[in-house]
Amino acid sequence: MAISRRQFGATMLGSAFAGLAARAYANIPAASRNEVPGYGDLIADPNRLLDLPEGFSYRVISRLGNVMENGMVVPNAADGMGSIDMGNGKVALIRNHELTPSQLRGGPYRSRPGEGFKAYDYMTEKPKAPLPGGTTTLIYDMQSGKVEREFLSLAGTIRNCAGGITPWGSWLTCEESVDKAGDGVGKDHGYIFEVPATMGGMADPVPLRAMGRFNHEAACIDPRTGIAYLTEDRNDSLFYRFIPNEKGKLAKGGKLQALALKDISDTGNKDAVQIRLNEKHRASWITLDDPESPKDDLRIRGAKLGCTKFVRGEGIFWDDKDKEIYFTATSGGAKGYGQIFRYTPSKHEGGRGKQGMLELFLESQDPALYNLGDNIAVMPNGHLMVSEDQYTPIVDNHLRCVTPAGETYRFARSAIQTEFAGACFSPDGSTLFVNLYAPTTTFAITGPWDRVVSG
């Protein structure tokens, strides 16, 4: 029986870090390999956590169960994460926790919070506690390499999977859930919430309803237009954009649309190849009515209107240098090993005139080179860094890098059976922050990043 990463994470809760080495898979020969040398061979970690190339080192800066300053504990299931410059050498890391109502024991609460606690929703059956999903925030000092503060910053949500940072210094955290009020919870779910980095405490849990209710995965924003681009983790997902009524004010509403490509109904290439590598396709965008979608049928209605389908849209990232967007389709491709797409907005984006161009940037034919990419980020050298998310009985997940030519190389390997998530760089590019999903472990990684240059 295959064990999913979420099932595995649940089994780890009782023991946390006890027995971690016993669950390690460091002695399994890695089938993974490089197309280009990259940073070189990986060196086995004597602590059996994280294998890195020569010259790189990590520091564990947060772990499952650590007591935070507001009396809560670091929850399990650490997923998407964003790095936001706070000035004076400080960085805010806002970290998602992908927990369901059934995983209350893996949440942040040691006891039920009192009256006035800022939670979006509560369980309607005993124990009537706030839902365990949400975000935690770490304030990290770049000079000392230490976490100065760590606290719960959003509570009462479900399966906060990925998200994205905004140009104005907040984190958009996305619920990968469409649970409805009455199903053991008090409110509908499937929304995006905004968590400001400057709050210093818990954010007001206000769902951004106009951005759609669906199985959200991740988000990014084009700082020039304020348009948000959104992915959806479903086998028949759409690629969305949200045009706000007022730039930088997502809570004031806007228009939700989905991408449509001429003569391409499905990018998965499973039954027939409809989209080929490096071919550019002009985008059209179709406005979707009733974005709150009480029947969870946005993608179905969109496909009937001519929107193009993707196979499990997941990580998305704005490349500020080249003004492009990269996003993953985790199970896309003829062989199902994953795809990466590139969307280049036009100067008319969101208005009248020609819209942007979409192209298939990578489609894996070999799981040893790239397998089920999830979260994605642009590295300081211009390459992509993708977190693999395999969910087989024994996994061999890597942080996989992709050059501008679409060639891959390994940067890191998890020595325990879990996925990487939330990889993001400090604003100065010197430090990579990344999570191991379960048990929650957050790393700061430093080393000779300039050893591999773009090309």
HEC-encoded secondary structure of 224-236? CCCCEEEEECCCC
pLDDT of residue 244: 98
pLDDT of residue 3: 30
Question: Which has the closest alpha carbon to 285: 315, 254, 311?
Answer: 254
The residue assigned the tokens 């405490």 is 201
What percent of the chain is modeled with pLDDT above 70? 93
pLDDT of residue 115: 73
How many angstroms separate the CA atoms of 33 and 394, rounded? Answer: 17
pLDDT at 8 over 70: no
| Cβ atoms of 101 and 91 closer than 8 Å | no
Between the alpha carbon of residue 395 and those of residues 21, 165, 388, the distances in Å are 15, 29, 10
Q: Residue 435 domain-assigned?
A: yes
Q: Residue 285 domain-assigned?
A: no
Structure tokens that stand for 163 in this block? 């998200």
Task: Let me know whether 441 and 396 are in one domain.
Answer: yes
When pLDDT is averaged across residues 302-318 and rounded to a whole number, the result is 98
How many angstroms separate the CA atoms of 225 and 194, rounded? Answer: 18
How many angstroms separate the CA atoms of 132 and 109, rounded? Answer: 8
When pLDDT is averaged across residues 124-128 and rounded to a whole number, the result is 88
pLDDT of residue 453: 87
Task: Let me know whether 71 and 40 are in one domain.
Answer: no
Q: Which of 185, 207, 229 is the last residue of a domain?
A: 207
Map residue 209 onto helix, strand or coil. Answer: helix
Task: Let me know whether 59 and 81 are in one domain.
Answer: no
pLDDT at 19 over 60: no
pLDDT at 21 over 50: no
Q: Residue 49 domain-assigned?
A: yes
How many angstroms separate the CA atoms of 150 and 67, rounded? Answer: 9
Q: Which of 155, 177, 207 is the last residue of a domain?
A: 207
How many angstroms separate the CA atoms of 18 and 417, rounded? Answer: 15
How many angstroms separate the CA atoms of 97 and 104, rounded? Answer: 12
Q: Give the DSSP letter string of 423-436.
A: EEE-TTSS-EEEEE
| Cβ atoms of 200 and 256 closer than 8 Å | no
pLDDT per residue as tens digits for the range 396-429: 899 999 999 999 999 999 999 999 999 999 999 9
Task: Let me know whether 391 and 446 are in one domain.
Answer: yes
Structure tokens that stand for 343 in this block? 């969307």
Our measurement of the distance from residue 399's CA atom to the centroid of its chain's CA atoms, rounded to an integer in Å, reads 13
Task: Let me know whether 427 and 404 are in one domain.
Answer: yes
Q: Residue 124 domain-assigned?
A: yes
Structure tokens that stand for 443 in this block? 């790393």
Classify strands 280-287 and 216-221 as parallel, antiparallel or unpaired.
unpaired
Q: Residue 384 domain-assigned?
A: yes
Task: Let me know whether 39 and 148 are in one domain.
Answer: no
Give the model's confidence band at 318: pLDDT under 50 very low, under 70 low, under 90 confident, else very high: very high
* Total number of domains constituting the chain: 2
pLDDT at 23 over 70: no
How many angstroms separate the CA atoms of 4 and 59, rounded? Answer: 27
Task: Let me know whether 68 and 35 are in one domain.
Answer: no
pLDDT per residue as tens digits for the range 344-398: 999 999 999 999 999 999 999 999 999 999 999 999 999 999 999 987 777 789 9
How many angstroms separate the CA atoms of 83 and 379, rounded? Answer: 13
pLDDT at 24 over 50: no
Residue 220, beta-bridge partner list:
229
Q: Is 148 exposed, middle or buried (0-12, 13-18, 19+ CB in 10 A)?
A: exposed
Whole-structure pTM value: 0.93
pLDDT of residue 455: 67
Give the model's confidence band at 25: pLDDT under 50 very low, under 70 low, under 90 confident, else very high: very low
Task: Let me know whether 46 and 82 are in one domain.
Answer: no
Classify strands 373-378 and 384-388 as parallel, antiparallel or unpaired.
antiparallel
Q: Which helix (H) or strand (E) holds 9?
A: helix 5-12
Please list, in sequence order, all residues whose beta carbon lies within 8 angstroms of the beta carbon of residue 382, skipping any fewer than 6 positions away: 321, 322, 404, 454
When pLDDT is averaged across residues 219-243 and rounded to a whole number, the result is 98
Q: Is 169 exposed, middle or buried (0-12, 13-18, 19+ CB in 10 A)?
A: middle
Task: Let me know whether 32 and 120 are in one domain.
Answer: no
How many angstroms separate the CA atoms of 346 and 324, rounded? Answer: 10
pLDDT per residue as tens digits for the range 52-101: 999 999 999 999 999 999 889 999 999 999 999 999 999 999 999 999 99
Between the alpha carbon of residue 319 and those of residues 30, 153, 322, the distances in Å are 31, 27, 6
Q: Residue 265 domain-assigned?
A: no
Residue 233: half-sphere exposure toward Cβ, Cα within 13 Å:
24
pLDDT of residue 6: 37
How many angstroms separate the CA atoms of 285 and 9, rounded? Answer: 39
Our measurement of the distance from residue 57's CA atom to the centroid of its chain's CA atoms, rounded to an integer in Å, reads 23
Hey, what amino acid is at 416? Answer: I
pLDDT of residue 70: 82
Task: Let me know whether 56 and 97 are in one domain.
Answer: no
Q: Per residue in 343-376, is it b (16+ CB within 10 Å) or e — as a string?
A: bbbeeebbeeeebbbbbbbbbbeebebbbbbbbb
How many angstroms separate the CA atoms of 450 and 442, rounded? Answer: 23
Our CA dihedral for 245, 302, 269, 362, rounded to 10 degrees, sits at 10
How many angstroms separate the CA atoms of 262 and 281, rounded? Answer: 8
When pLDDT is averaged across residues 132-149 and rounded to a whole number, the result is 98
Stretch among 78-82, 110-114, 276-280, 446-450 having the lowest mean pLDDT: 110-114
How many angstroms separate the CA atoms of 120 and 186, rounded? Answer: 9
pLDDT per residue as tens digits for the range 159-199: 999 999 999 999 999 999 999 999 899 999 999 999 999 99
pLDDT at 440 over 50: yes
Structural domain containing residue 84 = 64-207
Q: Residue 282 domain-assigned?
A: no
Task: Let me know whether 100 and 191 are in one domain.
Answer: yes
pLDDT at 126 over 90: no
pLDDT per residue as tens digits for the range 233-275: 999 999 999 999 999 999 999 999 999 999 999 999 999 999 9
> What's the mean pLDDT when you consider all of the chain?
92
Question: Which has the closest alpha carbon to 173: 199, 131, 147, 208?
Answer: 208
The residue assigned the tokens 């029947």 is 295
Q: Residue 240 domain-assigned?
A: no
